[in-house]
Amino acid sequence: MVGVSLPEVLSKCDHCVIHHRSICQDVDDTIKLELSRISHFRNYSEGETVVAEGDDVSVVGNVISGVLKLVKTLPDGRQHIVGLIHPAGMFGRVFGSKTRFAIEAATDVRLCCFERRAFEALVRQNPVFEHKLLLNSLDELDATRAWTMLLGCQSVLERVATFLMILLRLQEHQGCPKIPQPDHNMVRLPISRRDTAAYLGTTPETISRSIHVLARRGIVRIIDTQHFEIMQINRLALLSGREEFVGEVKMYSNSLPRASAERHDLLVSETEAALAKKKVMPQV
């Protein structure tokens, strides 16, 4: 690039609101220069398909704003959301020619895209960057395994509590001085109630009931259908049943025994309600 200084070329990456927490974090100027050269931005509206299931993968990249959803379609036409990609998350299959899931815009999204083959060539030439990409993939694998356990072992109330804690953690980890920071106790559902229910393996009605249970207990305050204020983080963490969340709120240790007993009572009540519902269902 004749006549263009290195700082000018790097400015696109340096002014990116996710560069401090994406795969681009802490890379040296040489790699950053190449990433900047091969990158371009794309915007998609809610509901648009970024990559269809089974299609050739021509681009990979990072989510700058909004949320992507990974959707698997079964042979009978049923669909299931198998993952969400939040800001700073990476989408696309590096070193893979086809995608096994459809990548769709769950909300309006802005993406930083790299031509796949050019990105793969950069990875091959830079072992440190390749190592960073591998660690990122392992983190995603760990998260997927944890989510599998959640869907298979936890009640709907625990799933809702876990999802709210995940959103709270993602929000707190934004921490970028280039964008306004929201109230740390405010949570916004980034996807529709219907998509949230599909992602948590339940129905929109059950999601609503669970949120109202949390509201009646004073754990959350409902602002509207998409926005909530977390009033008692320690109680929400205990209800999620996730050790990593409980560890993050040890500052509230004096109230943990009471919150643990409350979690037991809530889960017993939820189980009894489910059994009662089964009893009144008509026999087929």
Question: Cα separation of 270 and 253, whole Å?
Answer: 26
Residue type at 198?
A: A
Q: Which two tokens stand for residue 98?
A: 């086809």
pTM of the model: 0.76
Cβ neighbours for 93, distance < 8 A, ≥ 6 positions apart? 57, 60, 99, 100
∠184-185-191 over CA atoms, to 5°? Answer: 95
Measuring CA to CA, which residue among 14, 18, 17, 21 is closest to residue 139? 21
Give strand pairing partners of 70: 83, 103
Q: What pLDDT score does 26 carry? A: 76
Question: Cα separation of 85 and 182, whole Å?
Answer: 20
> How many CA within 13 A on the CB side of residue 103?
26
Measuring CA to CA, which residue among 110, 112, 105, 106 is closest to residue 189? 106
Q: Can you give the pLDDT of all 284 residues of the chain as single tens digits?
A: 334 444 544 556 777 778 777 888 778 888 888 888 899 999 999 999 999 998 888 999 999 999 999 999 989 988 888 889 999 899 998 888 788 899 999 989 999 999 999 999 999 999 988 988 898 888 888 888 878 877 888 899 999 999 998 888 877 555 444 444 444 588 888 888 888 998 898 999 999 999 999 999 999 999 998 899 999 888 898 888 877 776 666 544 444 444 445 555 555 455 444 444 444 444 43
Measuring CA to CA, which residue among 51, 13, 5 is closest to residue 31? 13
> How many CA within 13 A on the CB side of residue 7?
0
Contact predicate 102/49, CB 8 Å: yes
Question: Cα separation of 43 and 84, whole Å?
Answer: 17
Q: What pLDDT score does 2 carry? A: 38
Burial class (CB in 10 A: 0-12, 13-18, 19+), 45: exposed
Q: What domains lie within the chain, and their CATH numbers?
A: 11-132 (2.60.120.10), 150-278 (1.10.10.10)
Question: Cα separation of 54 and 106, whole Å?
Answer: 19
Could you count the other beta carbons within 10 Å of the beta carbon of residue 181?
11
Concatenated DSSP letters for 210-243? HHHHHHHTTSEEE-SSSEEEES-HHHHHHHHT-H
